[in-house]
């Protein structure tokens, strides 16, 4: 058994165990911790096939930012009360959901094994840069440089659009998480430069918490 396959299987077990933990744990904080386990497992799977940059991003953005954002919201709302999993709100919901999950899995497996003949999946790449592409001196390009080469040439428009998307997401999050007492309040008056308003020091910490995870 190759080292690659061995690492894949170990990380696979970690991922599946974490995923089951997310779904089955009563407490939201436990679910968030199991989610970290799964995300680290996925980062290992990325490393197994030498996607080094994405493995680093997976740890920084997912485990570092997104799960922390989840934990912030859990703590902020005080939703640390465990859910009673023995209550089934809709009769027959769980068996039906299990059936749907199994059906999705069966469908995907059917497609996977009918598409791959003899364990090999063949096809043509869409972006014209192979993973073993070389630079003019004949050395294989590092993963980060390959990604940069595609993102900043072929995909540069999509890359710029993501900048707009992130800005819109930040503004949307601030607007929605604002604390509005009663009806809509008029916007605060603009003070001349040099004067500071002392009123709105205690603006909602929710906004700060929501923005926190956005920086990455």
Q: List the interface residues with other proteins, window 144-203 (CB under 8 A).
A: 146-147, 150-151, 155, 158, 162, 165-166, 168-170, 172-174, 176-177, 179
Which of 1, 191 has the CB closer to other proteins? 1
For other proteins, the binding residue among 104, 140, 156, 208 (CB under 8 A) is 104
User: Number of residues in contact with other proteins, rule: CB under 8 A?
Assistant: 95
| Per-residue x/- track, 6-25, other proteins (CB under 8 A) | --x---x--xx--xx-xx--
For other proteins, the binding residue among 37, 56, 59, 66 (CB under 8 A) is 66
Dist. CA 158–CA 128, nearest whole Å: 17
CA atoms within 13 A on the CB side of 121: 7
Spell out a b/e string for 175-189, using b for 16 or more CB atoms within 10 Å of the CB, else e. Answer: eebeeeeeeeeeeee
Q: Token pair for residue 212?
A: 């926190």
Which of 108, 197 has the CB closer to other proteins? 108
Binding to other proteins by residue 116, rule CB under 8 A?
yes
- DSSP 3-state of 90: coil
Cβ atoms within 10 Å, residue 143:
16
Which of 17, 186 has the CB closer to other proteins? 17
Would you say 58 and 42 are in contact if contact means Cβ atoms under 8 Å apart?
yes
For other proteins, the binding residue among 10, 75, 83, 140 (CB under 8 A) is 83
Binding to other proteins by residue 68, rule CB under 8 A?
no
| Phi, psi at 153, each rounded to 5° | -120, -75
For other proteins, the binding residue among 97, 140, 156, 208 (CB under 8 A) is 97
Which of 80, 137 has the CB closer to other proteins? 80
Binding to other proteins by residue 94, rule CB under 8 A?
yes
- 10 Å CB burial of residue 150 (0-12, 13-18, 19+) is middle
Q: Which of 41, 30, 36, 27 is closest to 61 using CA atoms?
A: 36
């Amino acid at each position: 058994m190759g080292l690659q396959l061995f690492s894949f299987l170990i990380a696979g077990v970690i991922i599946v165990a974490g995923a089951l933990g997310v779904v089955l744990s009563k407490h939201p904080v436990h679910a968030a911790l199991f989610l970290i386990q799964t995300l680290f497992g996925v980062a290992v799977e990325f490393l197994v096939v030498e996607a080094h940059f994405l493995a680093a991003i997976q740890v920084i953005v997912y485990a570092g930012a997104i799960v922390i954002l989840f934990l912030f919201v859990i703590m902020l709302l005080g939703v640390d009360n465990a859910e009673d999993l023995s209550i089934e709100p809709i009769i027959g919901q769980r068996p039906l959901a299990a059936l749907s999950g199994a059906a999705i899995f069966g469908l995907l497996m059917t497609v996977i094994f009918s598409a791959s003949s003899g364990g090999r999946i063949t096809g043509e790449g869409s972006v014209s840069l192979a993973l073993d592409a070389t630079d003019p001196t004949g050395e294989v390009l590092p993963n980060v440089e390959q990604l940069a080469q595609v993102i900043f040439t072929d995909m540069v428009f999509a890359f710029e659009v993501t900048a707009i998307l992130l800005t819109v997401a930040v503004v949307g999050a601030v607007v929605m998480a604002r604390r509005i007492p009663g009806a809509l309040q008029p916007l605060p008056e603009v003070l001349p430069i040099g004067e500071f308003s002392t009123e709105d020091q205690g603006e909602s910490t929710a906004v700060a918490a929501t923005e926190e995870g956005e920086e990455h």
